[in-house]
Amino acid sequence: MKKKKAISPIISTVLLIMIVIVLAIIILLWSRGFVKEAITKDIAGNEKRVNEFCLDVKISSIINDDVIRTFGFENTGNVPIYAYKVKLVGKDDGKSEVVKVTKEGGGSVNPGFSVFVDSDVIGEGKGYDDFELIKIIPILLGESKSGTKEFECPEKNGFVI
């Protein structure tokens, strides 16, 4: 019979440890994609995650009785709105459209101020009566480790006008 040599116990132990380390690194990198970076906001010394401030946003609707019945909203809460999205559901066709109004487009609304939704957002010549549903979805600004970031509040925290 021939004598077969196997690898030494030290080499096999080192190989097993290397395999475990490689697997741990792979799992760590894979799981980083599931964990989002925390975005926080500080208002009057009260710092918490931005998504918690979504519940503190308060909006009251404004509807003008002019020819095309323009509409907007007033920020009646104490959380500044950085930008917002307008979800429009058509009365005739039932199609929905979501339009983002950025800070540059007049989407920033500080507490106590109001804004009217521009015809660029809803369409020329259209007004409040042309839609079955109009929902305002706030976008807040917060801080993370990588800098300032926008946070879109969930649609369930949106406000129907």
103-150 residue pLDDT tens: 887 778 888 888 888 777 777 777 777 788 889 999 998 888 888 888
Q: Is 91 part of a structural domain of the chain?
A: yes
> What is the DSSP secondary structure assignment for residue 57, as one 8-state letter?
-
Q: Is 19 part of a structural domain of the chain?
A: no
Q: Are 144 and 40 in contact (CB under 8 A)?
A: yes
Q: Is 18 part of a structural domain of the chain?
A: no
Q: Are strands 59-63 and 71-75 parallel, antiparallel or unpaired?
A: antiparallel
For residue 134, give the H/E element and its range. strand 131-144
Q: Copy the structure tokens of residue 145.
A: 């480790």
Which pLDDT value is given to residue 16?
95
Residue 21 has pLDDT above 80, yes or no: yes
Q: Is 4 part of a structural domain of the chain?
A: no
> Can you tell me the distance from the alpha carbon of 43 to that of 49, in angstroms, rounded to the nearest whole number?
11
Domains held by the chain: number: 1
Determine the structural domain holding residue 108 and report its residue range. 40-160
Which pLDDT value is given to residue 1?
59
> Can you tell me the distance from the alpha carbon of 118 to that of 92, in angstroms, rounded to the nearest whole number?
21
Q: Output the pTM of the full model.
A: 0.72
Mean pLDDT value of segment 10-17: 92
How confident is residue 95, by pLDDT bands cut at 50, 70 and 90?
Answer: confident
